[in-house]
Amino acid sequence: MIPVTKPFLPPQNEYRAYLDKIWESQWLTNMGPLSKELELRLANHLRVNEALFVTNGTIALQMAIKALDLTGEVITTPFSFIATTSSIVWEGCRPVFVDIDKESLNIDAAKIEAAITSKTQAILATHVYGNPCDVEKIQAIADKYNLKVIYDGAHAFGVKINGKSIFEYGDISTCSLHATKLYHSVEGGLVFAKRKAVFKKLKSIRNFGFAGPEAFDELGINGKNSEFHAAMGLVNFKYIDKIHQKRKALTEKYDTLLSEANVQKPSWYQEATQNYAYYPILLDSEKYLLKILEKFKKNNIQARRYFYPSLANSTPYLPIQSFEVTDDIAKRVLCLPLFYDLMSKDIKVICEIIIKTFK
């Protein structure tokens, strides 16, 4: 079987070496030496001042909303993973959906102003597939209406805009280090903040709001991660460049073989680097997509309708809404298998099935 994704696993002996350190220190969680080392390494690698290593990408979003004291409406995208919307609701805010741009598949910045009301407090936008949103236009709107900006950068590890880390945009940015991501710590997430005061608050929130052994500053949560997850992050850290190069080569293989097929890809932010986190294609219709999925199934190939259905008409705790572009794209987008161990011969089989389906 060819899965749609597969976690990168380093040599076991390299992970065991870190396990020996954990047994030696007997420090298992509560931001031990490995967790702190990982934060420093990742901050340096990503070219940001500071990074917080947290439990997962969902907790990262919830912490961001809490740290900015949001209680009202948050403008967001209906084309994202469920955690983007559920985090807003979980924190007692109201998500207000705005349709996406048909080229980038990110939130359409040109439609944001029309959704702003007296209750709007923030914009929470997703860098879909790691492709940067229109960060300049979004920030201009936020400045005009005095709104906060949070970026869900779950897919965006390592992406830069004109040499600047994507995580430096917005008031707070988050990232996922889940096992399915191109760089992972099995489970994990990262949080970044523009202002030091906000970063300090996030750090406090991550540890129950402790101000000391017997005092609390604010409402907090247990957002800390373990030394075992940090160990995996540290082992995988040395393979970041190798993983990037391999995924780039696989992506280029797809591009070459699919050049004769009637498929499109989302347009990438022009001044941004790519991290090759996913390989999404847009098909002419849902009919073709379903035909391809049927043939994939017969050949033991997995692909994912990512993201389908739209969050605006599939969440049971929100009223059903329709958005022209999102509803259309969600039916036609398909993410093809992409992972470190994927073979060129497998890509050839995948592409042949797609091409034959069209013919």
CA-based nearest residue to 302, from 15, 89, 5, 103: 5
295 pLDDT more than 90: yes
Mean pLDDT of the chain: 97
Q: Which domains does the chain have, with CATH numbers?
A: 12-237 (3.40.640.10), 240-358 (3.90.1150.10)
Residue 103 has a pLDDT of 98
Residue 226 has a pLDDT of 98
Residue 273 has a pLDDT of 98
Residue 52 has a pLDDT of 98
Residue 285 phi, psi (nearest 5): -155, 165
Residue 214 has a pLDDT of 81
236 near 8, Cβ under 8 Å?
Answer: yes
In terms of Cβ atoms closer than 10 Å to its own Cβ (0-12, 13-18, 19+), residue 245 is exposed
pLDDT band at 213 (very low <50, low <70, confident <90, very high): confident
Rounded average pLDDT over 308-312: 97
pLDDT band at 102 (very low <50, low <70, confident <90, very high): very high
- The number of residues making up the chain comes to 359
40 pLDDT more than 80: yes
Q: What is the pLDDT of residues 129-172, one digit of tens each?
A: 999 999 999 999 999 999 999 999 999 999 999 999 999 999 99
Residue 215 has a pLDDT of 87
Q: What is the CA radius of gyration of the chain?
A: 21
Higher pLDDT, 263 or 250: 250
272 pLDDT more than 90: yes
pLDDT band at 262 (very low <50, low <70, confident <90, very high): confident
Q: What is the pLDDT of residues 66-99, one digit of tens each?
A: 999 999 999 999 999 999 999 999 999 999 999 9
Residue 250 has a pLDDT of 98
CA-based nearest residue to 157, from 236, 65, 66, 62: 236
Residue 32 has a pLDDT of 97
| Residue 325, CA atoms < 13 Å, CB-side half-sphere | 16
59 near 221, Cβ under 8 Å?
Answer: yes
H helix intervals, 218-323: 227-237, 240-257, 286-298
Rounded average pLDDT over 194-221: 93
Give the Cα separation of 176 and 157 in Å (integer).
8
Q: What share of the chain is helix, strand, coil (3-state, %, to 5)?
A: 45, 15, 40
The whole model's pTM is what?
0.97
Strands 189-193 and 172-176: antiparallel
CA-based nearest residue to 52, from 32, 35, 69: 35
